[in-house]
Amino acid sequence: MNIAVILAGGTGSRMGIVDKPKQFIDIYGKPIIVYTLETFDNHPEIDSIAVVCLKEWVDDLKILLRKYEINKVRWIVDGGQTRQESIYNAINALSNECKDDDILIIHDSVRPLVSHKIISNNISKAKEFGAVDTVVPSADTIVRSIDESTIEEVPTRSELYIGQTPQSFKYSLIKEAHENAIKNNNLNSTDDCQLVLGIGQKVHLVMGEKLNFKITSFDDLLLLKAIIKLGKTEMV
């Protein structure tokens, strides 16, 4: 079974918008999270979807699922205090129905431009290797600074990638990685791949796309609006 875990537990504190989390912001009449869910809902290889949602927005999510006829969502899981806790909540919620070799495709709800190809590649590589991360090569030189004032290091650009989502894992592997992190009191990881590396497992790369960017700021929102050209698929 291939289960998408859509993370919608964030509050959008960097957006300036205070009345709703960023994943519920409308883009041309449709909330960002719906665009994301539709792509997974209509992907033939996705069997079910779990949404990790802010507790107080669960009813709103249910209304959207009904309105937009998103049919594969089987679990709505309460979000945690951190990203790590949110994902662990989903892992636990799925424990009765997941087998060890089932694949979890963990994706940010605020990356609505994830493509069919990226999802397919995540699934096939996760089945083969157990753990995969979606990345794009870094086009810019990245510098490292510790004091926020001077450069500490300029890492070799060809070795650097920008991490995206989905990150996909065999169920048993991601469960073990999270439990190991909790055991070691590592409770605020922003990335599941770090946790998998922590149990000595390799994480393979799947090529993402620049368009699969994350909506975190008002600039990103503007960019998304500019990219989506609605009304172009006119039908008789």
Q: Does 44 bind another protein (CB under 8 A)?
A: yes
Binding mask 149-188 for another protein (x = CB under 8 A): ----------------------------------------
Task: With residue 188 as reference, give the H or E element that holds it.
Answer: none
Among 28, 145, 188, 218, binds another protein (CB under 8 A): 28
Task: Say whether residue 96 binds another protein (CB under 8 A).
Answer: no
Of the ranges 28-36, 96-104, 157-165, 175-183, which one interacts with another protein (CB under 8 A)?
28-36
CA 29 to the chain's CA centroid: 22
- Residue 60: its H or E element: helix 58-67
12 binds another protein (CB under 8 A): no
Half-sphere exposure of 213 (CA within 13 A, CB side): 13
Q: From CA 105, how far away is CA 38, in angstroms rounded?
A: 15
Q: Does 39 bind another protein (CB under 8 A)?
A: yes
CB atoms within 10 A of CB 55: 11
59's CB contacts (< 8 A; 6+ apart) are none
| Tokens 């990345």 -> residue | 135
Residue 66 found at the interface with another protein (CB under 8 A) = no
108 DSSP β-pair partners: 7
Any idea which residue has 């989506």 for tokens? 228
Tokens coding 188: 């605020």
Cis amide bond preceding 112, omega within 30: no
Work out how close the CB of 135 gets to another protein at its nearest, in angstroms, rounded to a whole number: 16
Is 124 a binding residue for another protein by CB under 8 A? The answer is no
CB of 224 to another protein, least distance (A): 9
| The residue count for the chain | 236
Among 93-101, 114-122, 135-143, 185-193, which window interacts with another protein (CB under 8 A)?
Answer: 114-122
With binding defined as CB under 8 A, does residue 220 bind another protein? no
Q: Which stretch binds another protein (CB under 8 A): 37-45, 102-110, 186-194, 196-204?
A: 37-45
Query: Footprint of another protein on this chain (CB under 8 A)?
Result: 28, 30, 35, 38-39, 41-44, 69, 112-113, 115-117, 211, 227-230, 232-236
